[in-house]
């Protein structure tokens, strides 16, 4: 999580959900942002239609203000100028002028949030610019898109966007959840009338209702024309308020998802109703489009239908399987598609946009932005060794999100394919099962690379001490093999070294100029000395003029995807606290550490790799906030609400007494500092441990029900 931000959003509507999906999308996102400590001002144009149908005129999670036309926006110029970031939404009235005003007035990044991307691009293709001009896409620092997949590449390649990122709709599981509402319908559909959606609704719901008169069906939503011939067993409901959505879905055995034609053509365009219905545990029958299987697993989490016969077959399934599909769909939303997930994306991408501004100062005006970004972009080809590990998988996801083509090499000794769940669905990602200790000749099929990150090596004492010879060879032979690959392909090479090279330090905090205090024959030496030797190899390679290198000395890092079994202090404390087990503290607990949240660390790695100045030498990456292990344990107990007791064990051999990075060099050379507080980072990590445990339980229950 980033530091609290002041955000201004100019959107179609927050106050009225009548006849649009924008309001519910914004409500979920803004509530998640508010829960994460951010201050949001939402500016909504006064419109008679929405003014007459407001169902949230005074939200308690943000400030909502209305304006009358472009001139009236000037009342909020000071707030826009002072905001950390501004977001302009699609379908805003006079959106081109509003966007120009925001771009001119704001001092921080300005993003465009397109909840209708395929429709927008179709309009631009016809020369229509009702709320976004083609020239503006390059000027917006981020293009948040309702649609993912190849469309993002098109927005960057054809329109010059500096960063097109998927920001799908979502569901708030506190609002959209299973309820005990009485069952009223066999099949429901909730959605505003759309001419291009109606043929699919006719085929999948109305025709199914005609073929099976005993079915009880409902279509809810406004603006349906009077001429539609509704079958007698199809009930019409003009409007369902968001507060009643969960009960509406719970009243249905199944619900239907129908996608607009432009969005079907583009693919990767889920509607908000898809996530909301799934979060309510109601099984979904959906039309087919590319990318749906990257969001839900067909057959187990969602059902697909092309014809009325497909719908009727789904409706005939037994209750056990129906419940299992509903539970699995809800588990998927909890894991990947909550408003919290989307808020994390917004935080991350706005932070990256701020870093880009700070590094380049390239966006001084609309014309300058267009000129600098309209040139075709070259996709970076990146190899991440150890990409299935904790840090490596986060790096893969970030690089893919930034438009890179990523190859992950991992032997899965300590990594996990579960960490790559998101990456494996990305068309620009390739996984290669290989060990860098072995020769890489032939393994990568002669692929060229622009960047090579070496994150391959067990990083926790229990794991790297389990096979010390392999640990040492990974650092030495593995680094040599990757350096040779970098030389052959002309790639820039980054070595992930470690604070362990400082050993049990006599200098505190540790600057990069400190040579360390390491026991070369102790039980930790396989890792400590391996990394020290890897640094030697890397700089010998550079001194010989064989390529560009970067070295990051990484201090303790934590966050989602930490394995509960890898022996690191944060994962140990959290997993023990959540299980109610005794919390293990080694020694007297007075030894200190500094903990950096994973998102901040990934920012630092990428900033170091992309540093284009003279080779800076090793750079410490870590959080300089120091605390004792006892203090960390107390904080974990408080945040988890656990009643676990402390259990003291002897301090391991050569365990450092103090550890804290001096990051002055990272700040001056890279402009990098961590921004996530320990409490915020621990909350996110604890939530991930809780959520993954809950999801596993949901899936087990679903599988047991099917069996």
First to last CA, the chain: 40
Other CB atoms within 10 Å distance of the CB of residue 329? 27
Phi and psi angles of residue 335, each rounded to the nearest 5 degrees, phi first: -80, -35
Pairing of strands 626-628, 592-594: antiparallel
Catalytic residue among 168, 527, 558, 597: 527
Give dist(CA 522, CA 500) in Å, integer: 13
Identify the burial level of 612 via C-beta atoms within 10 angstroms of its C-beta, where 0-12 means exposed, 13-18 middle and 19 or more buried.
Answer: exposed
What is the Cα Rg of the chain in Å?
Answer: 27
Q: Which helix (H) or strand (E) holds 158?
A: helix 150-159
CB 140 within 8 Å of CB 161: yes
Strand, helix or coil for residue 86: strand
DSSP state of 420: G
Scanning the structure block, which residue is given the tokens 């394995």?
563
CB 634 within 8 Å of CB 679: no
The DSSP-derived string for 297-340 is: -BTTTBEE-SSHHHHHHHHTS-HHHHHHHHHHHHHHHHHH-BHH
Give dist(CA 105, CA 545) in Å, integer: 47
Residue 224 annotated to the active site: no
DSSP state of 343: H
Phi and psi angles of residue 370, each rounded to the nearest 5 degrees, phi first: -65, -45
Secondary structure of 199-268 as H, E, C letters: HHHHHHHHHHHHHCCCCCEEEECCCCCCCCCCCCCEEEECCCCHHHHHHHHHCEEEEEECCCHHHHHHCC
Identify the burial level of 544 via C-beta atoms within 10 angstroms of its C-beta, where 0-12 means exposed, 13-18 middle and 19 or more buried.
Answer: exposed
Q: Which residues contact 189 (CB under 8 A, 6 or more apart)?
A: 201, 205, 217, 218, 219, 220, 221, 255, 256, 258
Tally of residues, the chain = 707
Indicate which residues carry an active-site annotation: 527
């Amino acid at each position: 999580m980033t530091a609290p931000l002041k955000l201004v959003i100019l959107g179609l509507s927050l106050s009225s959900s009548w006849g649009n999906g924008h309001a519910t999308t914004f409500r979920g996102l803004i509530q998640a942002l508010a829960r994460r400590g951010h201050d949001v001002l939402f500016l909504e144009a006064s419109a008679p239609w929405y003014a007459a149908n407001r169902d949230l005129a005074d939200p308690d999670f943000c400030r909502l203000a209305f304006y009358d036309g472009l001139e009236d926006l000037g009342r909020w110029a000071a707030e826009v100028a002072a905001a950390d970031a501004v977001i302009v939404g699609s379908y805003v009235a006079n959106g081109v002028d509003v966007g120009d005003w925001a771009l001119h007035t704001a001092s921080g990044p300005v993003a465009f949030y397109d909840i209708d991307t395929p429709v927008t691009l179709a309009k631009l293709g016809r020369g229509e610019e009702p709320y976004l001009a083609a020239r503006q896409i390059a000027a917006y620092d981020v293009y948040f898109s309702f649609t993912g997949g190849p469309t993002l590449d098109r927005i960057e390649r054809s329109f010059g966007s500096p960063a097109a990122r998927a920001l799908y709709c979502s569901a708030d599981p506190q609002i959209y959840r299973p309820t005990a509402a009485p069952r009223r319908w066999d099949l429901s559909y909730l959605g505003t009338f759309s001419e291009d959606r109606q043929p699919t609704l006719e085929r999948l719901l109305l025709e199914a209702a005609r073929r099976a008169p005993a079915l009880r069906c409902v279509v809810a939503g406004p603006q349906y024309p009077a001429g539609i011939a509704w079958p007698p067993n199809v009930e019409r409901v003009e409007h369902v308020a968001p507060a009643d959505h969960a009960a509406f879905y719970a009243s249905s055995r199944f619900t239907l998802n129908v996608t607009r034609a432009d969005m079907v053509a583009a693919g990767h365009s889920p509607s908000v109703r898809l996530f909301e219905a799934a979060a309510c545990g109601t099984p979904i029958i959906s039309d087919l489009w590319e990318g749906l299987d990257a969001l839900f697993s067909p057959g187990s989490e969602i059902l697909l239908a092309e014809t009325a016969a497909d719908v009727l077959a789904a409706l005939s399934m037994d209750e056990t399987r129906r419940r299992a599909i509903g539970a699995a769909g809800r588990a998927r939303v909890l894991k990947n598609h909550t408003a919290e997930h989307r808020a994390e994306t917004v935080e991350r991408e706005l932070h990256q946009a701020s870093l880009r501004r700070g590094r380049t100062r390239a966006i001084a005006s609309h014309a300058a932005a267009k000129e600098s970004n309209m040139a075709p972009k070259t996709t970076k080809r990146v190899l991440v060794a150890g990409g299935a590990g904790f840090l490596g998988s986060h790096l893969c996801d970030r690089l893919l999100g930034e438009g890179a083509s990523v190859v992950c090499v991992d032997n899965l000794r300590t990594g996990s394919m579960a960490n790559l769940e998101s990456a494996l669905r990305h068309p620009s990602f390739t996984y290669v099962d290989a060990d860098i200790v072995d020769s890489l000749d032939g393994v990568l099929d002669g692929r060229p690379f622009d960047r090579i990150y070496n994150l391959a090596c067990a990083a926790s004492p229990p794991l790297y001490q389990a096979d010390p010879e392999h640990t040492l060879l990974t650092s030495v032979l593995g680094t040599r093999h990757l350096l040779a690959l970098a030389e052959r392909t002309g790639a820039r090479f980054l070595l992930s070294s470690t604070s362990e090279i400082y050993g049990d330090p006599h200098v505190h905090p540790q600057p990069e100029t400190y040579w360390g205090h390491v026991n070369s024959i102790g039980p930790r030496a396989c890792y400590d000395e391996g990394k020290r030797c890897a640094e030697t190899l890397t700089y010998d390679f550079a001194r010989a003029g064989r390529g560009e290198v970067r070295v990051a000395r990484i201090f303790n890092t934590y966050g989602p995807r930490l394995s509960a079994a890898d022996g690191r202090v944060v994962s140990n404390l959290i997993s023990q606290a959540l299980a109610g087990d005794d919390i293990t503290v080694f020694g007297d607990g007075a030894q200190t550490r500094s903990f950096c949240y994973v998102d901040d660390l990934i920012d630092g790695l990428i900033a170091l790799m992309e540093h284009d100045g003279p080779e800076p030498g090793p750079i410490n990456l870590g959080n300089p906030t120091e605390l004792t292990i006892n203090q960390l344990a107390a904080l974990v107990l408080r945040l988890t609400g656990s009643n676990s007791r402390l259990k003291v064990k002897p301090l391991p051999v050569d365990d450092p007494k103090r550890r804290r990075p001096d990051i002055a060099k990272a700040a001056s050379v890279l402009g990098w500092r961590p921004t996530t507080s320990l409490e915020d980072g621990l909350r996110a990590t604890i939530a991930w441990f809780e959520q993954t445990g809950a999801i596993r339980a949901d899936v087990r229950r679903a599988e047991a029900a099917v069996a």
